């Protein structure tokens, strides 16, 4: 993948560069930021995260499994007390709830990993350690015909450094 | 997630009067780079740290030796004496589970409530939670005659075709504690990932760099990662919030489901949850106050943060105090002679001193926090936190021991005296807890680097008033203040 990486010190310059790149029809833009910021998210106009689906499915599976395992155990070895029903849903709500939280949380983390494509073994192109430190980075995928244009946009908005990577 | 420039409109100011801006939250922190520098500086070991670790390991070894002795001799070594068959181990189990509540309260519940003061203290509190629950988890096993059979409580297909009874509070405990341990450890680790990435990028030692690289899972701070991360973090907080309340409720069911006088009360779940949060905040002060002093982090964990946490401490103390009074009142109004006798015995009987330690440490001394001067006095907060720890341990002692020793029939009455084995294992539990905590503070950041950066004003090229070009390396004057946007996908 060929592209241009620009490093910025200021957030407003980064936002303006993103807006300009999007105006010039660069579609594949990745922004690096030491901390999440709404203005970068707004400039990128990114879709909503899909993590919530993993959370919902994990939670539903957990609560179902929790009730099921408690009821199954009770039926497998019935302890009849005072003629009351063998499976008692009120105490089993504790097990259902705990497993909902357990499965829901783990599937949320799994969803986050899957959607963010981590764990990642290599850092791939277009990363610089300064992006976790204090600077913002913009990585634009640009073919040989558009590298100059992208470089120009990044420089115009005050990038500290611009470099081509492939 | 913080947001930059838009100058706050007046109506916003009125709607969120308690949300301070970044520069009055952390005036001593100028830019992102300083956050990295100051937090990473805490990772280099000092002589004091080695000494503290040595003491912790020594205490742990004392506890481990006592346990070995107990396994050899049987549970009789631990001072169990009919009718008191729940002793110091169950007391200490409830104590440590309680300590483990403040971390998730601070990291999850206060996160959902947008309480700004949590930002700088939550990482240490979260670590405390994980290690406290790890410590608590040892005690039900220590309390078993055959500790190597502890896994029989977990429902799994086994050749004996024996399953645990899902109506038993002990089985609920297994589910609640293991879920809590797993979820709080996951929450802790997920929050750490971006900060470990900072360590990876800053580290010079190749071996440590490689270790951090593996632990950071290839995190790159990209917008896509942050987008999913902030959502996942929000959902984890939303799960952890009711979980905090459920865990100590379930622990309280261990008592409330029994017919024993003093235990069989519907007030137990909220009473236990409030007590847990109170004791946890006490332990947060015990840990945070020395930490900020030795690591010179006073400009990050500000006195305003401690003041706010002290208010929470005062509030939970009053809830706990109300629960104590309510218990007595319920016994008084119940017309139940056994219940009344028990509560009389609690304050004037054999263990009157334990009950009064509990009442004074948990109900009376924290009232001093009504004084703003004392809330902002770190020495007093630290001393008070020690009293709270002692008071909360004795609260559990008062719940467990007098009830069991003074049940319905006089012929059932008995006494109890902990032995040196009990005390050694109690000491060992503190050694175990502090050993993990000390190892943590020298290997991983004690403060959430990326979240602290969120409340710092970002560097701006165009200031709100006039234009000023800020070159890289200049000191970022936070002329344009980052404000905390109270809604939306915050991290």
Interface test with B, best of A49, A54, A103, A131 (most B CBs within 10 A): A49
**What is the per-residue pLDDT for B15?**
40
Pairwise CB contact (< 8 Å): A32 & B222: yes
- Phi, psi for B158 (deg, rounded to 5): -135, 160
Contacts of A61 in chain B (CB under 8 A): none
The pLDDT assigned to B468 comes to: 38
Token readout for A161 is 């450094």
Alpha-carbon gap, residue B426 to B437, rounded angstroms = 17
DSSP-assigned letters across all residues of B365-394: GGGGGGSHHHHT-HHHHHHHHHHHHHHHHH
**Largest pairwise CA distance in chain B:** 86
Nearest CA in chain A to B474: A9
Q: What is the pLDDT of residue B479?
A: 36
In this complex, which of B163, B460, B470 lies closest to A76 when CB atoms are compared? B163
More confident residue, A1 or B390: B390
pLDDT at B192 over 90: yes
Q: Does residue B194 have a cis bond before it (omega within 30 degrees)?
A: no
Beta bridge partners of A32: A137, B222
Residue A141, strand partner residues: A3
| pLDDT score, position B12 | 45
Cα B309 off chain centre by: 13
Inspect the interface and report whether the beta carbons of A134 and B36 lie closer than 8 Å: yes
Looking at the predicted structure, is the pLDDT value of residue B4 above 60?
no
| pLDDT of B400 strictly over 50 | yes
Q: Which two tokens stand for residue B327?
A: 């218990």
| B441 contacts B52 by C-beta, under 8 angstroms | no
Q: What is the model's pLDDT at position A106?
A: 97
Residue A29 φ then ψ, to 5°: -120, 135
Contacts of B232 in chain A (CB under 8 A): 49, 51, 108-109, 111-112
Q: Which residues of chain A have pLDDT under 70?
A: 123-125
Provide the pLDDT for residue B250: 94
User: For B26-62, how does the pLDDT look when each residue is reduced to its tens digit (9 = 90+)?
Assistant: 878 888 889 999 999 988 888 999 999 999 999 999 9
**Sequential DSSP letters for B89-156:** HHHHHHHHHHHHHHHHIIIIIHHHTT-GGGTTTHHHHHHHHHHHHHHHHHHHHHTSSSGGGGGGGS--
Task: Report pLDDT for B24.
Answer: 55
Between CA B224 and CA B232 the distance in angstroms is 12
Shortest distance between the Cα of A141 and any Cα of chain B, in A, equals 14
- The answer to whether A134 contacts B31, with C-beta atoms less than 8 Å apart, is yes
| B448 three-class SS | coil
Instruction: Provide the pLDDT for residue A124.
Output: 63
Q: What distance in Å separates the CA atoms of residue B196 and residue B189, rounded to the nearest whole number? A: 10
* Cα dihedral B447→B453→B457→B462 (10° resolution): 160
Please state, in angstroms and rounded to a whole number, the distance separating the CA atoms of residues B138 and B155.
Answer: 19
Note if the bond before B378 is cis, omega within 30 degrees.
Answer: no
| Yes or no, beta carbons of B190 and A77 under 8 Å apart | no
Mean pLDDT, all residues of chain B: 86
The pLDDT assigned to B70 comes to 95
Beta-carbon separation of B239 and A121 below 8 A: no
Residue in A closest to B191 by C-alpha: A109
Name the DSSP class of B81: B
Residue with tokens 């919530």: A52
Whether residues A133 and B201 touch (CB distance < 8 A) is answered with yes
Q: Are A98 and A66 contacting, i.e. CB atoms less than 8 angstroms apart?
A: yes
Two tokens, residue B46: 């000092």
- What's the pLDDT score for residue B488? 36
Give B282 or B18, the one with higher predicted confidence. B282
> Is the pLDDT at B17 greater than 60, yes or no?
no
pLDDT of residue B463: 62
The reported pLDDT for the residue numbered A51 is 95
Task: Note the pLDDT of residue B114.
Answer: 83
Cβ–Cβ of A98/B2 closer than 8 Å?
A: no
Helix/strand/coil (H/E/C) assignment for every residue in B110-121: HHHCCCHHHCCC
* Size (chain A), residues: 166
- Tokens 């007595």: give the residue: B328
For B208-244, the pLDDT digits (tens) are 999 999 999 999 999 999 999 999 999 999 999 999 9
User: Across the interface, which of A41, A109, A119 has its CB nearest the CB of B186?
Assistant: A109
| Helical (H) or strand (E) element with B179 | helix B169-202
* Confidence band of B475 (pLDDT split at 50, 70, 90): very low
CA distance A113 to A90: 35
Distance from CA of A36 to the nearest CA of B (A): 6
For residues B386-395, b (16+ Cβ closer than 10 Å) or e, as one string? ebbbbbbbbb
Residue A123 has a pLDDT of 64
pLDDT tens track for B310-333 = 999 999 999 999 999 999 999 999
| Chain A / chain B CB contacts < 8 angstroms | 222
Comparing CB atoms, the residue among A39, A109, A129 nearest residue B232 is A109
Contact in structure between B404 and B86 (CB atoms under 8 Å): yes
Residue B456's pLDDT is what? 84
User: How far apart are the CA of A9 and the nearest CA of chain B, in angstroms?
Assistant: 6
Element (H, E) at A29: strand A29-32
Q: Is the predicted pLDDT of residue B118 greater than 50, yes or no?
A: yes
Task: Give the Cα separation of B13 and B9 in Å (integer).
Answer: 6
CB contact under 8 A, B182 and A122: no
Q: Which of B176, B220, B454 shows the shortest C-beta gap to A35?
A: B454
Out of A12, A46, A117, closest to residue B223 by CB: A46
The CA distance from A136 to B224, in Å, is 14
pLDDT digits (tens, 9 = 90+) for A82-120: 888 899 899 999 999 999 999 999 999 999 999 999 888
Q: Is B454 close to A115, i.e. CB distance below 8 A? A: no
Q: Which residues of A touch B182 (CB under 8 A)?
A: 102, 105-106
- CA A31 from chain center: how many Å? 13
The C-alpha atoms of residue A109 and residue B193 are separated, in whole angstroms, by 12
């Amino acid at each position: 993948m060929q592209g241009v990486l620009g490093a910025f010190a200021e957030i407003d310059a980064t936002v303006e560069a993103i807006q300009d790149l999007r105006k010039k029809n660069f579609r594949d833009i990745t922004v690096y930021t030491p901390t999440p910021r709404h203005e970068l998210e707004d400039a990128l106009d990114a879709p909503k995260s899909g993590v919530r689906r993993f959370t919902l499915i994990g939670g539903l599976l957990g609560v179902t499994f929790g009730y099921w395992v408690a009821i199954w155990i009770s039926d497998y070895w019935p302890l009849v007390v005072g003629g009351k029903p063998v499976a008692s849903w009120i105490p089993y709500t504790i097990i259902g709830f705990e497993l909902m939280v357990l499965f829901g949380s783990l599937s949320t983390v799994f969803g986050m990993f899957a959607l963010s494509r981590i764990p990642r073994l290599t850092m791939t192109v277009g990363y610089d350690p300064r992006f976790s430190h204090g600077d913002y980075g913009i990585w634009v995928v640009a073919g040989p015909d558009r590298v100059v244009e992208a470089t120009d946009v990044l420089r115009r908005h005050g990038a500290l450094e611009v470099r081509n990577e492939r | 997630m913080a947001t930059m420039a838009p100058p706050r409109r007046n109506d916003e100011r009125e709607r969120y009067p308690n949300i301070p801006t970044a520069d009055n939250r952390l005036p001593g922190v100028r830019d992102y780079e300083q956050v990295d520098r100051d937090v990473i500086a805490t990772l280099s070991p000092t002589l004091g740290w080695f000494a503290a670790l040595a003491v912790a390991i020594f205490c742990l070894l004392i506890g481990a030796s006592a346990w070995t002795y107990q396994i050899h001799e049987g549970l009789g070594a631990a001072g169990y004496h009919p009718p008191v068959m729940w002793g110091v181990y169950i007391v200490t189990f409830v104590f440590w589970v309680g300590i483990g509540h403040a971390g998730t309260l601070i990291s999850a519940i206060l996160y959902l409530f947008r309480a700004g003061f949590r930002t700088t203290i939550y990482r240490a509190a979260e670590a405390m939670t994980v290690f406290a629950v790890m410590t608590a988890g040892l005690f039900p096993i220590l309390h078993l005659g055959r500790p190597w059979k502890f896994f029989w409580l977990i429902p799994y297909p086994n050749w004996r075709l024996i399953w645990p009874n899902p109506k038993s509070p002990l089985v609920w405990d297994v589910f609640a504690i293991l879920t809590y341990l797993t979820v709080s450890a996951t929450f802790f680790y997920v929050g750490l990932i971006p900060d470990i990435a900072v360590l990876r990028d800053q580290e010079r030692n190749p071996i440590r760099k490689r270790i951090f690289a593996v632990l950071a899972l290839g995190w790159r701070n990209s917008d896509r990662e942050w987008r999913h991360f902030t959502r996942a973090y929000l959902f984890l907080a939303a799960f952890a919030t009711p979980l905090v309340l459920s865990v100590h409720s379930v622990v309280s069911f261990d008592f409330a489901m029994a017919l024993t006088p003093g235990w069989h009360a519907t007030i137990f779940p909220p009473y236990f949850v409030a007590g847990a949060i109170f004791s946890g905040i006490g332990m947060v002060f015990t840990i945070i106050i020395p930490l900020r002093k030795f690591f010179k982090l006073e400009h990050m964990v500000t006195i305003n943060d401690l003041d706010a946490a002290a208010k929470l401490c005062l509030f939970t103390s009053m809830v706990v105090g109300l629960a104590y009074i309510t218990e007595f009142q319920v016994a008084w109004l119940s017309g139940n002679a056994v219940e009344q006798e028990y509560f009389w015995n609690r304050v004037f009987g054999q263990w009157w001193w334990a009950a009064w330690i509990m009442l004074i440490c948990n109900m009376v001394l924290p009232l001093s926090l009504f004084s703003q001067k004392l809330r902002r006095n770190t020495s007093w907060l630290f001393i008070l936190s020690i009293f709270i720890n002692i008071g909360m341990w004795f609260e559990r002692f008062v719940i467990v021991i007098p009830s069991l020793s003074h049940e319905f029939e006089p012929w059932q009455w008995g006494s109890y005296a902990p032995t040196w084995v009990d005390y050694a294992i109690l000491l060992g539990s503190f050694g175990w807890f502090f050993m993990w905590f000390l190892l943590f503070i020298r290997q991983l950041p004690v403060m959430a680097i990326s979240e602290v950066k969120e409340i710092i004003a970002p560097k701006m090229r165009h200031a709100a008033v006039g234009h000023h070009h800020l070159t890289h390396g200049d000191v970022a004057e936070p002329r344009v203040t980052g404000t905390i946007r109270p809604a939306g996908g915050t991290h």
